[in-house]
Structure 1
């Protein structure tokens, strides 16, 4: 009399007697190896932690007025958002800065859409004609954290933060060609601007005021469509005005008329191109471990840092390697002699090292279990348990990749 088996027993017997079972086990193992090779690797898991900064300008208002007329009403409007964790604001003269943070796990796209919808559907919360500007929303998330930081520094006393900043901006355009990069920006170093230094005595001699010069800049540095010219079965668009693009055009700008003759900007002001007033400084300093980096210089040097972030769900290890390889290719082309590039942050390298370490520990734990079964039950049982554990882990890794998860220390700890 045969014993009646349950659902689990029936499934087990079917696979035990089926000739396709070894093939399925091999396919599961190969799919797992495939997943290990192509699954994006990160140090931390992809967790939706969405927040945004909302900037609302109120020119001419004091911090108290900004708080009472803008910040407090805006907090009340934003507190109605679904999935909101908290909202707080900072009021300063002429500007209200609100930080909106959503609960962990809220879909980023839906959360940002709700934020935009709430702000622009409640624009009547401010009295008309008050002079408050349109809100500017800057969404932030976990993928805004840079995965690679490249510090440009030099020992050349003739170069400073301004020159390094120009090199960094040229490198930004090249690094954006690397597939998977998202946000690339430079920290440190003043930007290049055109300085206009007025001479009060010259302005008085030509009977001009600063407002006259401001008006001339606003009118001259503008362009707008002015219609079309139709001729010979062709339509030609007409554009009125051009933007100021060179320093010579700025110097030759007509700012007024005196005694029937045009007055140029160069007649009443000194116009030169150069670095802006610095708002932040960056320095590269060497320490005790500098020899391990292959750096011979000692001391502190002017520097700027290029930060590179990645797109969501992409492989941090691969993108970091491609960015660093691209920098090596640009040596001598965009990076002149005397300017050094040091990798001061490599998120991909640390993520790969931690993933490899956890995979090694996972293999060690599996091997230890197999040895324990070998000594306790025998060789056949050890082989069966080892194959079952390995194939189960392989199929789990493949399912994680298919579901869109990344290979990180949290997912490996779960295994």
Structure 2
């Protein structure tokens, strides 16, 4: 197995660095067909080479025949992209979507890139809902203050203090490295209501 790995080096010979794109030289020593594998010399016995085809059956096929991917009734290669811990999911997806047109332009004809699932749509909708709830909580705090105190001057204080407190909280969260997510927004919404 070590001989096969050593004879099948999958590394580019170099690259061309341009101002906007790097092109790899694909002249590597990778074995690409069953015939190339079949002629690998494993050892010599009595001066004659012992080839891989003499001791093994070489087949060009999937390693696991029970594993296949289908998308929209077509054979497919599925690529699942997951964020690293601490990374912003929405930022990762936006950056990938920005890179996709350049990737699809370099694919051979007949190949297509399709996004099957995108969790950020529900995340964005959820964050938007919590933001609306936060605004409603601020308005309700101001209205309740006005209804109970019945003085416009007393109502101005929470109408300025609550948004200013939220801005200060977001500033401290940014400096501390906390992300704005559903949990933090919901906590701020609950805190605003009290």
Q: Relative contact order (C-alpha < 8 Å, sep 6+): which is higher? A: 1
Pairing partner for 2:154 from 367, 381, 384:
381
Call closer, same or farther: CA 1:305–1:321 in 2, change over 3 Å: same
Query: Equivalent residue for 2:67?
Result: 280
Q: 1:319 aligns with which of 83, 92, 110?
A: 92
- Deviation, 1:322, is 0.7
> RMSD of the TM alignment (CA)?
2.7
In the other structure, the counterpart of 1:355 is 127
Answer yes or no: is the 8 Å Cα contact 1:320–1:347 preserved in 2.
no
Deviation at 1:279, TM superposition (A): 3.8
Larger Rg: 1
Is the alpha carbon distance of 1:410 and 1:257 closer, same or farther for their aligned partners in structure 2, counting shifts above 3 Å? same
2:103 is matched with which residue?
330
Residue 253 of structure 1: aligned partner: 41
Aligned mates of 2:121, 2:42 — CA distance in 1: 56
Q: 5+ residue gaps in structure 2?
A: 9-30, 189-194
Structure 1 residues 373, 403: closer, same or farther in 2, change over 3 A?
same
2:187 equivalent in structure 1: 414
Structure 1: which 5+ residue stretches go unaligned?
1-216, 223-242, 286-299
Pairs within 5 Å for 1:125-164: none
With normalisation by structure 1, the TM-score equals 0.35
State whether residues 366 and 389 of structure 1, in contact with CA within 8 Å, keep that contact through their aligned partners in structure 2.
yes
CA contact (8 A) 1:251 1:271 kept: no
Post-superposition Cα deviations, 1:374-402, rounded to whole Å, max 9, x if no partner, equal: 45423222221111111112222222233
Q: 1:279 to 1:373 in 2, by over 3 A?
A: same
Tell me how far 1:249 sits from its aligned partner.
6.1
- How many angstroms apart in 1 are the aligned matches of 2:61 and 2:85? 38
SS of the residue 2:78 aligns to: strand
State whether structure 2 residue 190 is matched by structure 1 residue 392: no
> How many pairs does the alignment contain?
162
TM-score (norm 2): 0.69
